[in-house]
Amino acid sequence: MNAPMRRDSVRTIPILALLRRDALPQLTSQQLVCRMDEALETEHAKEARRKEERLANWLEQQRSVLLGFSGGVDSAYLGSVAVECLGPDRILAVIGRSPSYPAVQWATARDVAERVGLPILELDTHEMDDPRYAANPTNRCYFCKTELWTVLESVASERGFAMIVDGSNADDRADWRPGTRAAKS
């Protein structure tokens, strides 16, 4: 059984009004969908668009961007916005390959990149050779990301990329993320 929805979290009245056939008999399905989208507009959506605009403005100011790319939601979103803002010639997504990164994730990352027109470079990373990572401590992500960022810095230097980014976001700050520390060091 589904948990009941909080009334303040759902905007039912505008949607129900839009779906009444007698109220809008002349609308096409496309017009109806547009009206529904308008009715569902929330402050959260407006704030998300403002944040995306700030991201796009920041990206457009960069000469070129190298993206640490996992193919997950965060790096895929960032890569997609970067391709739109910079074009494929000023962005390169790097996928770090290693035994710790399952083949299915490589395939997914490649597929996601292809779908958004994001150029990729796959490079081997060697975190498994680091005994601190291989010991599997709770902060092992720090050692994995240290290896990845070392590879990213090398590629950026060799290829002349002005900025290195990854899909870290504001929500990550509230969580314990040893890998984020590696990107800062």
d(CA 140, CA 13): 49
Residues 89 and 179 in one domain: yes
Phi–psi pair at 121, nearest 5 degrees: -135, 125
The count of domains in the chain is: 2
pTM of the complete model: 0.69
Same domain, 67 and 29: no
Domain region containing 68: 47-184
56 and 22 assigned to the same domain: no
Over 90: is that where the pLDDT of 167 sits? no
- In a shared domain, residues 77 and 28: no
Which CATH number characterizes residue 72's domain?
3.40.50.620
8-state DSSP, 170: G
**Cβ-based neighbours of 86, under 8 Å, separated by 6 or more:** 59, 60, 62, 64, 65
Given a cut of 80, whether residue 2 has pLDDT beyond it is no
Q: Which of 9-13, 45-49, 117-121, 135-139 has the highest mean pLDDT?
A: 117-121
Residue 1 lies in a domain: no
- To the nearest 10°, the Cα dihedral for 151, 154, 158, 163? 90
Binned at pLDDT 50, 70 and 90, residue 124 comes out as very high
pLDDT digits (tens, 9 = 90+) for 99-112: 888 889 889 999 99
Looking up tokens 């010991």 gives 135
Residue carrying the six token digits 């958004």: 116
To 5 degrees, how large is the angle CA 13–CA 17–CA 22? Answer: 160
Indicate whether 9 pLDDT > 70.
no
Report how far apart, in Å, the C-alpha atoms of 157 and of each of 70, 97, 99, 116, 180 are: 21, 20, 26, 25, 21
Q: Are 121 and 67 in contact (CB under 8 A)?
A: no
Residue 80 scores a pLDDT above 90: yes
pLDDT of residue 66: 97
Q: How many CB atoms lie within 10 A of CB 120?
A: 17
